[in-house]
Amino acid sequence: MSTQARRPRGKDYIWRVGLAALVVLPTVAFAAELPRFKPGFNLFSQEQDIQVGREGVAQVEKEVTLLRDPAVERYVSDLGRRLAGLAPGNTDYPWTFKVVNSRDINAFALPGGFIYVNRGVLEAAEDEAQLAGVMAHEIGHVTMRHGTHQASQMMLAQMPLAILGGVLGKGSSVTGQLAQLGISFGVNSLLLKNSRGAESQADEVGTYTLYQAGYDPKAMVQFFGIIEKKYPQQGLQFFSDHPNPENRIKKVDQLISQLGPQQQGRTDSPEFQAAKKRLLALPPPPKTKPAGQPSGSGSSGPAVNPPAPSSQLVKYQGDGFVIAYPNNWEVQQSKDGVTLAPPGGVFSGAQAYGASLSNYVPPQESWGLIDATKQLLDSLRQSNPNLRVVKQTSLKIKGRAALSTLLENDSPLPGQKETDRLITVRTKDAMLALVFVAPQAAFEAYRATFDRMLKSLELR
Ligand SMILES: [Zn+2]
């Protein structure tokens, strides 16, 4: 769960189609309406997308190891540029396409046209059309501006008045503004977590671009299916950053039927097979994490089975509270609070196991615990669209009135649900929000530890 209202992940939004436009291109006439290839609500300018993307490049390249092989680099870059030139929408970006030396099957795009494809994608793709499908999908995230759309929605939720005052106006550093909101720029950045709505749109752009480039337009979804079935472990991060939209295949098939007869339906090229052969002959990627990647920040692999919580508790002194936690857990401090999690308990930037505490200041001056908790839940729901309240009870913490809210949510672990127990209690000038989280199947095993932690909680 993304517990801090300021750090949502996977924010979903409704893609409003509005009036359907009839897109008519010189070479192709469409029998039916095409989906609108139009970016959503955005507070950033296109130049700011590039500025944000450049900041991301600097951070990401501290965290990943790039593949240095001029032949493969050139091949991927040429292919990417060719596809970007054929994508719908405004494609006026300084496109760069780089290969990450990792066998995880993943690809991601920073705002402004900076695209990274893992070596694992090239090794797993059966032909050029499948690789092109992944790249065209990433291009879709750029041209539809999904990263800054996501950040814009969060800003609007967090500081509507500041936005009216023009926080993103000239003279202010847009990256500084994002940092203030707690948005980081590395591989776990919110800018890379796509909602299912964004995914669907990137699918449409990807499929359309494949078609325009003369590839079999089915190749993109075909490859997603291969990743899911053949490489479930290597593909975990991909499906975490690019969650499967509902009816993915059906929607893409619908679009393909609207595109008309296939132009060439090309699938492969000798260049692709040569690049793949080169990669398979190269030494394996480095196993150890490169320096600069913080441990316990969640970038490490899937939190499938973190070690059991130690029965030895140690104290953590926070801003206005003290809590005890198992001594084999890791502490990750943030601007607004702290995450306490077993090693590997944070997956893909969101917490799958452990506890987090943050001070929440409700927007209104006079408020009660129930209202403030409701407001917090509303703001959490923006980043956790499937969050559901199961039960709410009141309790006392060291004599103070508190609320315990049991929640069900999507786990950051693909395909899993999680249980969250949110404890809210008023402090001197804010509300402390303590969340215990574990996948549904594991929550019982953590209950005793969570209870001990709650019992240890002291407030200022
Ligand atoms: Zn995607």
- Ligand 1: centre distance to CA 160 (Å): 28
Distance in Å, CA 116 to ligand 1 centroid: 12
5 compared with 201, residue with greater pLDDT:
201
For residue 27, the model assigns a pLDDT of 41
344 CA to middle of ligand 1, Å? Answer: 24
Question: Sorting pLDDT into bands at 50, 70 and 90, what band is 25?
Answer: very low
What number is the average pLDDT over the span 35-54? Answer: 87
CA of 202 to the centre of ligand 1 (A): 6
pLDDT confidence band for 31 (50 / 70 / 90): very low
Pairing mode, if any, of strands 388-397 and 400-410?
A: antiparallel
Residue-level pLDDT at 338? 82
Q: How close is the Cα of 241 to the center of ligand 1, in Å?
A: 7
- The DSSP code for 102 is -
pLDDT at site 160: 58
| Structure token digits, residue 11 | 């924010």
Q: Which pLDDT belongs to residue 91?
A: 94
pLDDT band at 78; cut points 50, 70, 90? very high
Encode pLDDT of 442-459 as tens digits.
898 899 999 999 999 998
DSSP single-letter state for residue 191: G
User: Residue 2: what pLDDT?
Assistant: 54
From the CA of 181, how far away is ligand 1's center (Å)? 23
Distance 294 CA to ligand 1 centre (A): 25
Of residues 8 and 68, more confidently modeled: 68
Question: What spacing in Å lies between the alpha carbon of 205 and ligand 1's midpoint?
Answer: 10
Q: Is the pLDDT of residue 197 over 50?
A: yes
| Distance in Å, CA 244 to ligand 1 centroid | 9
Among 169-183, 248-262, 337-351, 355-369, which is the least confidently predicted range? 169-183
Whether residue 194 contacts residue 241, with contact meaning beta carbons closer than 8 Å, is answered with: yes
- 431-446: burial string, b at 16+ Cβ within 10 Å, e else: bbbbbbbbbeebbeeb
Lowest-confidence segment of 48-62, 118-132, 133-147, 358-372 by average pLDDT: 358-372
pLDDT, residue 18, reads 26
What's the average model confidence in pLDDT over 248-261?
88
pLDDT tens digits, 284-324:
988 644 433 333 333 333 435 788 898 899 899 888 889 99
What's the confidence (pLDDT) of residue 158? 67
Predicted local distance difference test score (pLDDT) of residue 294: 39
- The rounded Å distance from CA 36 to ligand 1 centre is 17
Q: Is the pLDDT of residue 170 over 60?
A: no
Q: How far is ligand 1, taken at its centre, from the CA of residue 149, in Å?
A: 14
Closest by CA position to 87, among listed 25, 149, 31: 25
In degrees, rounded to 5, the angle at the alpha carbon of residue 295 between the alpha carbons of residues 346 and 146 is 55
Assess whether pLDDT exceeds 70 at residue 335.
no
Ligand 1 center from residue 433 Cα (angstroms): 32
CA-to-CA separations, 113 to 110, 131, 161, 166, 363, in angstroms, rounded: 6, 17, 30, 25, 36
Q: Looking at residue 34, what is its pLDDT?
A: 55
Give per-residue pLDDT as tens, 259-285. Answer: 888 777 789 999 999 999 999 999 998
Check residue 74 and give its pLDDT: 97
* Residue 395 CB neighbours (<10 A): 12
361-368 average pLDDT score? 73
Q: What is the predicted pLDDT for the residue at 347?
A: 67
- Per-position DSSP letters for 249-306, written without gaps between them: HHHHHHHHHHH-S-S--B---HHHHHHHHHHHHSPPPPSSPPTT--TTSS-SS--SSP
Residue 8 to residue 379: CA distance in whole angstroms? 9
Distance 44 CA to ligand 1 centre (A): 20
Give me ligand 1 centre to Cα 426, in Å. 40
CA–CA gap between residue 251 and residue 57 (Å, rounded): 32
Distance (Å) of CA 14 to CA 11, 150, 198, 220, 242 = 10, 12, 9, 23, 16
Q: How far, in Å, is the centroid of ligand 1 from the Cα of 387?
A: 22
Residue 319 Cα to ligand 1 midpoint, Å, equals 37
DSSP 395: E
Band (379; pLDDT cuts 50, 70, 90): confident
For the residues 157-166, what does the mean pLDDT come to?
57
How far away, in angstroms, is 283 Cα from ligand 1 center? 29
Residue 155 pLDDT class (50, 70, 90 cuts):
confident
Q: What is the mean pLDDT of residues 343-370?
A: 78
The mean pLDDT value of the chain amounts to: 81
What's the 201 CA to ligand 1 centre distance in angstroms? 9
Find the 275 Cα to ligand 1 centroid distance in Å. 24
Q: How far is the CA of 75 from the centre of ligand 1 (A)?
A: 22
- For 408-447, the DSSP string reads EEE-SSTT-EEEEEEEEEE-SSSEEEEEEEEEGGGHHHHH
- Measured from the Cβ of residue 368, the count of other Cβ atoms closer than 10 Å reads 11
**Mean pLDDT, range 355-364, rounded to an integer:** 80
Residues in the chain: 460
Please report the pLDDT score of residue 94 as a whole number: 97
Packing angle between helix 369-383 and helix 146-158, nearest 10 degrees?
Answer: 170
Which pLDDT belongs to residue 262? 75
**pLDDT confidence of residue 1:** 65
Given this model, what pLDDT does residue 35 score? 52
